[in-house]
Amino acid sequence: MVEVNEVMPREKTGVFDQIEAMEHEQLVVCYDKATGLKAIVAIHNTTLGPALGGTRMWQYKNEQEAITDVLRLSRGMTFKNAISGLNLGGGKAVIIGDAQTQKTEAFMRRFGRFINGLGGRYVTAEDVNIRTSDIEYIAMETRYVSGLPEIMGGGGDPSPVTAYSTYLGMKAAAKKAWGNDSLRGKRVLVQGVGQVGSHLVERLRHEDAQVFISDISEERLRQVANRFGAEVVMGDAIYDLDLDIYSPCALGATLNDDTVSRLKCQVIAGAANNQLKDEKKHGQMLVERGIIYAPDFLINSGGVINVAAEYEGNYQRERAYQKAEKVYDICLNILNEAEAKNIGPQEAAMQMALKRIQEVGRVKLSY
The footprint of ligand NAD (CB under 6 A) covers 158-159, 162, 191-197, 214-217, 220, 249-251, 271-273, 300, 303
**Residue 349 and residue 294 in contact, taking contact as beta carbons nearer than 8 Å:** no
Min CB(365)–ligand NAD separation in Å? 33
- What's the rounded Cα separation, in Å, for the pair 344 and 192? 25
Minimum CB distance to ligand NAD, residue 162 (Å): 3
CA distance linking residue 113 with residue 363, whole number of Å: 33
Question: CB 187 → ligand NAD: shortest distance, Å?
Answer: 18
Compute CA distances 168 → 57, 322, 346, whole Å.
30, 12, 17
Minimal distance in Å, beta carbon 279 to ligand NAD?
16
Give which of 98, 44, 49 is closest to 76, Cα–Cα: 44
CB of 150 within 8 A of CB of 156?
Answer: yes
Instruction: Calculate ∠ Cα 205-207-211, nearest 5°.
Output: 35
Q: In 336-363, which positions are buried (b, 16+ CB within 10 angstroms) versus exposed (e)?
A: ebbeeeebbbbbbbbbbbbebbeeeeee
> Residues near 11 by Cβ (< 8 Å), separated by ≥ 6?
none
Shortest Cβ contact with ligand NAD: which residue? 194
Q: Which one, 100 or 366, has the nearer CB to ligand NAD?
A: 100
Residue placing its CB nearer to ligand NAD in the complex, 43 or 249: 249
Of 91 and 114, nearer to ligand NAD (C-beta) is: 91
Rounded to 5 degrees, what are φ and ψ at 27? -130, 125
Helix, strand, coil: what percent of the chain each, to 5? 50, 15, 35
186 is catalytic: no
Q: Whole-number minimum distance, CB 57 to ligand NAD, in Å?
A: 14
Cβ proximity to ligand NAD: between 169 and 344 the closer is 169
Cβ at position 254, least distance to ligand NAD in Å: 8
- Checking DSSP bridges between strand 55-58 and strand 245-248, what pairing results, if any? unpaired
- Tell me how far, at minimum, the Cβ of 333 lies from ligand NAD, in Å: 21
Decide whether 144 or 239 has the Cβ nearer to ligand NAD: 239
Nearer to ligand NAD, 133 or 358 (CB): 133
- Name which of 220 and 319 has its Cβ closer to ligand NAD: 220
d(CA 185, CA 195): 24
Question: How many residues are there in the chain?
Answer: 367
Alpha helices in the chain (DSSP H): 15-22, 63-83, 105-117, 132-139, 159-178, 195-206, 218-228, 257-260, 279-289, 296-299, 302-312, 317-324, 326-341, 345-363
Of 12, 38, 80, 92, the active-site residue reads 92
- Give me the active site residues, please: 92
